[in-house]
């Protein structure tokens, strides 16, 4: 009977006394004169299963010489073990060698640095650490869909190729089919003539699906997107990637306070599901990646997040008895060190809301004070800003005014303006950075270690 290791761990009673077959990769081999042990991982589960083999097998000598990462198919008796580390093991009746690994396999049994493992990104999923990280990634993605689907949101596929400017075109990758090795065609003003390009205009790769998402929220009330997002910023930090995944819910008839309720509810749901469904992985992360991870996550589930105005955050920072690399100022953005201080000050996630309008995006709702916008960032220890959202400017004239002040062309997103003409409503949405969420969930400190193949400045390997 061909089996998967995960089923042994889920219900070992189903297998005791039976003959089973597994196929997998060898993690370790140990042998003495007449018998030996193989630790096998078949990819279905975080843990390995132990196989005991002895010299009654005709290929005993060959098995003893097997190298780490070799693939085998083992058929044997599934046996309950007493007083052993593992509750069960397989006593091999047959070990078929499927593929021998060269002895220079880079993942020999010792600790490797995360930096080194990035250089073998094609092999690192086979380590315990990355097995944990990438299974959590998968389970978290599913939980996110589940949360929104359970709550009546419609999943929208917003375009990857776009001409809409949401978070600033300077941060978007430009897209062209023109031959960049030859002089580009120019118009009368001497500027690149994109009318000759494939789409007949200047186009980009999306840096946010929000604007398109808003159009669907004006039809379906509650929507979300979940897809790749690209930003061309040259930010070489532990929390920025040029390609990341973002979840962007958008909700009609929803103000800033209601938005924060949704953000909090959503984050708690994801944390809870990942803890429930990946206990082995979370235990591993708690032990080897971030000591106290489980306590942190449990605390999050049982607390309500602090909500403070940007101004109050600056008050706290200014009162702090310490020096800063960047002096905190009213009217200015929070630096990494400020975010860190605030989350440590409250010892948990903090919503910072009502930001100075000049440092935030044009589409955010202007508050009655005329100085701040109804924007909110959720800051968490470690990953910093994991969610960024706002109530949207639903007043056509006010939106037109800001766009004009910022030198933006209204006609490029006339369809976005139309939402304010045809049944405008108080609405809000946020963007959840999927990788930042994973950093928070696993304790990983570098975004490069929660993305299968990270793309960051000067790095597009594999």
Q: b or e along 201-212 (b: 16 or more beta carbons within 10 Å of the residue's beta carbon)?
A: ebbbbbbbbbbb
The residue ranges that bind Mg ion (CB under 5 A) are 388
Q: What does the block give as tokens for 35?
A: 């018998």
Cα–Cα distance between 368 and 408 in angstroms, integer?
A: 23
* Residue 185, number of CB atoms within 10 A of its CB: 12
**Residue count at the site for ligand 4AD (CB under 6 A)?**
23
| Distance from C-alpha of 219 to C-alpha of 223, rounded to nearest angstrom | 9
> Closest distance between ligand 4AD and the C-beta of residue 168, in Å?
9
Residue of 24, 328, 431, 443 interacting with ligand 4AD (CB under 6 A): 431
In contact, 85 and 60? CB cutoff 8 Å: no
Residue 356 in the binding site for ligand 4AD (CB under 6 A): no
**403, 168 contact by CB (below 8 A):** no
Q: At what angle do helices 414-421 and 210-220 cross, to 10 degrees?
A: 30
Q: Which is nearer to Mg ion, 124 or 436 (CB)?
A: 436
Interface residue with ligand 4AD, options 267, 387, 413, 441 (CB under 6 A)? 387
Residues in 181-210 that interact with ligand 4AD by CB under 6 A: 208, 210
Residue closer to ligand 4AD by CB (options 300, 387) is 387
Which partner from the list Mg ion, ligand 4AD, none does 240 bind, CB cut-off 5 to 8 Å by kind?
ligand 4AD
Please report whether residue 251 would count as binding ligand 4AD according to CB under 6 A: no
Site membership for ligand 4AD, residue 328 (CB under 6 A): no
Residue 130 to residue 444: CA distance in whole angstroms: 10
- Edge-to-edge strands, sheet with 161-162: 161-162, 203-205, 174-175
Question: Which range in 34-42, 101-109, 287-295, 380-388 contacts ligand 4AD by CB under 6 A?
Answer: 380-388
Min dist CB 214 to Mg ion, Å, is 17
Say how far residue 259 (Cα) sits from the centre of its chain: 21
Q: Which is nearer to ligand 4AD, 263 or 281 (CB)?
A: 263
When the beta carbons of 89 and 171 are compared against Mg ion, the nearer one is 171
Q: Are the C-beta atoms of residues 349 and 300 closer than 8 Å to each other?
A: yes
Per-position x/- string for 157-176, each x denoting binding to ligand 4AD as judged by CB under 6 A, each - no binding: ---------xx---------
User: To which H or E segment does residue 372 belong?
Assistant: strand 372-380
Q: Which two tokens stand for residue 36?
A: 């030996």
Question: Does residue 240 interact with ligand 4AD by CB under 6 A?
Answer: yes
Catalog residues that contact ligand 4AD under the rule CB under 6 A.
166-167, 208, 210, 231, 240-241, 244, 246, 248, 385-390, 429-431, 433, 435-436, 447
């Amino acid at each position: 009977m061909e089996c998967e290791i995960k089923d042994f761990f889920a219900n070992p009673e189903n297998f005791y006394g039976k003959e089973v077959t597994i196929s997998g990769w060898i993690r370790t081999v140990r042998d003495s004169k007449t018998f030996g042990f193989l630790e096998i991982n078949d990819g279905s589960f975080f843990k390995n299963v132990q196989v005991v083999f002895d010299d009654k097998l005709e290929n005993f000598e060959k098995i003893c010489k097997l190298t780490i990462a070799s693939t085998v198919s083992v058929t044997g008796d599934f046996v309950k073990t007493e007083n052993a580390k593992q509750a069960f093991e397989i006593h091999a009746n047959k070990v078929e060698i499927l593929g021998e690994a060269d002895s220079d396999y880079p993942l020999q049994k010792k600790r490797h640095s995360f930096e080194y493992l990035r250089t073998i990104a094609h092999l690192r999923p086979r380590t315990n650490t990355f097995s944990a990280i990438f299974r959590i990634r998968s389970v978290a993605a599913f939980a996110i869909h589940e949360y929104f689907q359970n709550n009546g949101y419609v999943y929208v596929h917003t375009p990857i190729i776009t001409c809409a400017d949401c978070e600033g075109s300077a941060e978007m990758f430009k897209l062209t089919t023109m031959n960049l090795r030859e002089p580009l065609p120019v118009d009368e003003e001497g500027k690149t003539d994109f009318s000759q390009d494939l789409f007949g205009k200047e186009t980009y790769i999306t840096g946010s699906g929000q604007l398109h998402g808003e159009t669907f929220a004006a039809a379906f009330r509650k929507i979300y997107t979940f897809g790749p997002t690209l930003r061309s910023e040259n930010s070489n930090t532990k929390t920025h990637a040029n390609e990341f995944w973002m979840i962007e819910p958008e909700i009609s008839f929803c103000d800033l306070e209601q938005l924060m309720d949704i953000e909090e509810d959503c984050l708690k749901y994801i944390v809870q599901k990942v803890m429930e469904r990946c206990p082995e992985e979370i235990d591993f992360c708690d032990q080897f990646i971030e000591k106290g991870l489980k306590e942190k996550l449990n605390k999050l589930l049982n607390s309500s997040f602090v909500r403070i105005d940007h101004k109050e955050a600056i008050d706290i920072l200014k009162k702090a008895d310490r020096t800063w690399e960047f002096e905190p100022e009213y009217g200015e953005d929070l630096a990494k060190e400020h975010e860190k201080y605030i989350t440590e000050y409250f010892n948990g996630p903090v919503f910072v809301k009502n930001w100075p309008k000049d440092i935030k995006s044009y589409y955010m709702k202007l508050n009655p004070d005329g100085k701040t916008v109804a924007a909110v960032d959720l800051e968490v220890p470690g990953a910093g800003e994991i969610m960024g959202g706002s109530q949207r400017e639903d007043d056509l004239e006010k939106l037109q005014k800001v766009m004009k002040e910022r030198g933006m062309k209204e006609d490029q997103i006339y369809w976005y303006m139309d939402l304010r003409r045809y049944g405008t409503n108080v609405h809000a949405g946020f963007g959840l950075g999927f990788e930042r969420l994973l950093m928070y969930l696993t304790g990983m400190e570098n975004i490069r270690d929660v993305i299968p193949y990270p793309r960051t400045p000067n790095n597009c390997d594999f």
